[in-house]
Amino acid sequence: MRSKLGISALVGLGLLYLSVIFAPFFSPYPYDEDDVLNSYCPPTRIHWVDVKDRKITPYIYGRTVTVDKYYRRIYREDKTKSYRIKFFTRGFKYKILGLWEFERHLFGAEEGKVFLLGADLKGRDIFSRILYGGRISLSIGLIGASISFFIGLLVGGASGYFGGRVDNLLMRLCEMVMMVPSFYLMLALRASFPPNLSSSQVYLLIVVILSFIGWASTARIIRGMAISLRENEFIYAAKAAGLGHFKIIVRHILPHTFSYALVAIVLSIPSYILGEAALSLLGLGIQEPQASWGNLLSSAMGIVNIRLYPWILTPGLFILVTVVCFNVIGETLRDFLDPKRKIL
């Protein structure tokens, strides 16, 4: 049962990463295209059966907008106007991986706009912004976790192998990092840098901050494994063969910790995604108009907006699904690599 869930989660994550990599193709509009006339437009209802021709043809109706006594925009379908939804349509130009230029998109309407997941305050398509924002949120999780575990493996391996003063110094450093609550440490590190940074600089800064926070706990566990491994006969044989300390750590100690490291790195990725989302939600991360799942949720800070426009919570659903998938994959790997943990 667990293996089936793991495969399903892996397929789901694969489709999600594929969607964000090719976000310009799957998204019908640019992530920063404003349209104030469609401010907080609800998700567009797609009709499938043409009433006149009795054919299965996806189409949408036009919209009429009225303002109620509370100055709230009310959108209604104008059934006197209908527009077909076409696939592989032409739209704004974009580049895939910065190399090949394309103009085709998966879908689009003849006229008007198709908001699959509604629009935000500025009338921007939430579906398009989620796909583009996933590029940042999902890549930060992978890159941050990889850097953090690379540092943790080296520090933990060196600490456990050398012991003595080196072990004492490195472990006290780990404890200093771990004794500060990670969320407050993350906020303090971000606040220590200038606020007027570009999106690319903020992206790199968040990766560095999250990597700095996450390596200490990994290093302590790797250190314990290295202490038990350094007394094995193959380590003494490597020393007798004249291998240097660094080569012994990298070639003979760390490879024996990869089964734990692989599981740990998968289970830690959600914390990096949530860390980026928290910083962006508080206005300390990715800034507008650049999209990330965290700053997309910033419009949902008020209970009034959530009640009137519940579709603005959709980015949170993507975060939830991604976190659950990574946790399921991590637990499946743990059972696969450690047969004693398998559920009978």
pLDDT computed for residue 19 by the predictor: 92
Q: What digits encode the pLDDT tens for the residues 136-165?
A: 889 988 888 888 888 888 899 899 988 889
Question: 302 and 232 in contact (C-beta within 8 Å)?
Answer: no
DSSP string, 78-126: EEEEEEEEEEEEEEEEEEETTTEEEEEEEEEESSS---TT-B-TT--BH
Instruction: State both tokens at 161.
Output: 């192998």
pLDDT of residue 38 exceeding 50, the answer is: yes
- Fold (CATH) for 131-341: MetI-like fold (1.10.3720)
Instruction: State both tokens at 44.
Output: 């567009």
pLDDT of residue 344 exceeding 70, the answer is: no
Question: 56 and 48 in contact (C-beta within 8 Å)?
Answer: yes
Mean pLDDT of 204-212: 80
Tell me phi and psi for residue 327, to 5 degrees: -65, -40
Q: What digits encode the pLDDT tens for the residues 209-257?
A: 778 777 888 888 888 888 888 888 888 888 888 888 888 888 888 888 8
Read off the pTM: 0.86
Domain boundaries, the chain: 44-114, 131-341
Q: What digits encode the pLDDT tens for the residues 61-73?
A: 888 888 887 788 8
Could you give the count of Cα atoms lying within 13 Å of 56 in the half-sphere of its Cβ?
0
